[in-house]
């Protein structure tokens, strides 16, 4: 009996170790991404085929080979975290009103709309449901609109064993971040957001000295990557990108809208990928966030630039 118990214990320990090892490999940033290879981040998931921010949209992105899915969080009236971009239910569901004034029970009765504004059978997922779905899968999640819920997010990711699959971003200074969060972000990937010029679309204060901002972060946190917003292709933008490269951090550039990538956005890239996605890559991006993940992956594979692990 003792030998049987010992054998069972050995098998259990092996499985736990193997599971933990496999999970740790999901965090691409713990490995060295080869020079010239690109990670693809799908904005709100595969929303051209499924409702945005739905589990189906995340699943679709995983199947096409996306590396990162960006999703958005809001809190319900009864304090539950759900996955949705807008603060209101009107655009993406058959419900109406503010999420903050609606209970999770009532939201569960609703159905999500697709990109053509037609109702589907998909339901609004909670963050916990999404975390259980992605656990152990080859995908990382960028949790947008989550900063005000950091403690709750961390508690939930720890509970579900998905903390190392999470990416958070922010535009606080390194000193502010250190004071506010301490070591809460140690197991997550945190990307500072930086832009060389004033960027009014986010209605935030501009980074007055972007180079000092990067130097401070490098000293205090040594981030693995920065999200760089390039409104115009200026010498100042080039200097900032060069500085980030010197720190050995990766560069994330958004191809979603013209204001984010000096006019080299997804819509132009569909017809002229080399002039647009190619431009983003030449600027040093190792991560591209896109609304056209399938087309971007096809382009990257044609150039042998898609990251594969």
From the list 229, 294, 225, the residue with the least C-alpha distance to 255 is 229
* Phi-psi domain of 71 (left: phi exceeds 0; alpha: psi -120 through 50; beta: other): beta
Distance CA 271, CA 42 (A): 19
The answer to whether residues 84 and 44 touch, using CB atoms and an 8 Å cutoff, is: no
Query: Is 218 annotated as catalytic?
Result: no
CB atoms within 10 A of CB 11: 10
The answer to whether residues 131 and 105 touch, using CB atoms and an 8 Å cutoff, is: no
CB atoms within 10 A of CB 191: 23
* Contacts for 35 with CB less than 8 Å, ≥ 6 apart: none
Catalytic residue chosen out of the listed positions 74, 85, 218, 264: 85
Query: Is 132 annotated as catalytic?
Result: no
Catalytic residue chosen out of the listed positions 43, 74, 218, 264: 43
> What are the residue numbers of the active site?
43, 85
């Amino acid at each position: 009996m003792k030998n049987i118990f010992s054998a069972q214990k050995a098998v259990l320990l092996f499985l736990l170790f193997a599971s933990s090892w496999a999970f740790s490999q999901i965090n691409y940033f713990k490995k060295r991404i080869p020079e010239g290879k690109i990670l693809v981040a799908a904005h709100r998931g595969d929303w051209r085929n499924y409702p945005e921010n739905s589990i189906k949209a995340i699943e679709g992105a995983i199947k096409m080979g996306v590396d990162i899915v960006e999703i958005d969080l809001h809190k319900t009236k009864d304090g539950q975290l759900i996955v949705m971009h807008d603060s209101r239910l009107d655009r993406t569901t058959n419900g109406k009103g503010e999420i903050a004034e609606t209970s999770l029970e009532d939201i569960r009765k609703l159905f999500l709309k697709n990109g053509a504004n037609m109702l589907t059978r998909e339901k609004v997922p909670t963050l916990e449901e999404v975390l259980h779905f992605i656990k152990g899968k080859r995908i990382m999640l960028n949790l947008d609109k989550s900063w005000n819920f950091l403690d709750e997010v961390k508690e939930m990711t720890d509970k579900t064993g998905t903390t190392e699959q999470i990416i958070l971003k922010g535009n606080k200074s390194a000193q502010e971040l250190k004071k506010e969060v301490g070591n809460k972000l140690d197991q997550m990937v945190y990307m500072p957001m930086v832009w060389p010029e004033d960027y009014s679309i986010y209605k935030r204060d501009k980074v007055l000295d972007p180079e000092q901002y990067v130097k401070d972060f490098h000293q205090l946190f040594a981030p693995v990557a920065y999200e760089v917003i390039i409104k115009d292709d200026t010498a100042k933008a080039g200097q900032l990108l060069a500085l980030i490269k010197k720190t050995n951090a990766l560069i994330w550039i958004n191809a979603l809208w013209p204001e984010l990538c000096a006019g080299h956005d997804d819509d132009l890239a569909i017809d002229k990928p080399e002039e647009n996605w190619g431009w983003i890559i030449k600027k040093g991006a190792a991560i591209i966030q896109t609304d056209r993940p399938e087309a971007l992956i096809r382009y990257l594979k044609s150039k042998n630039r898609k990251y594969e692990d």
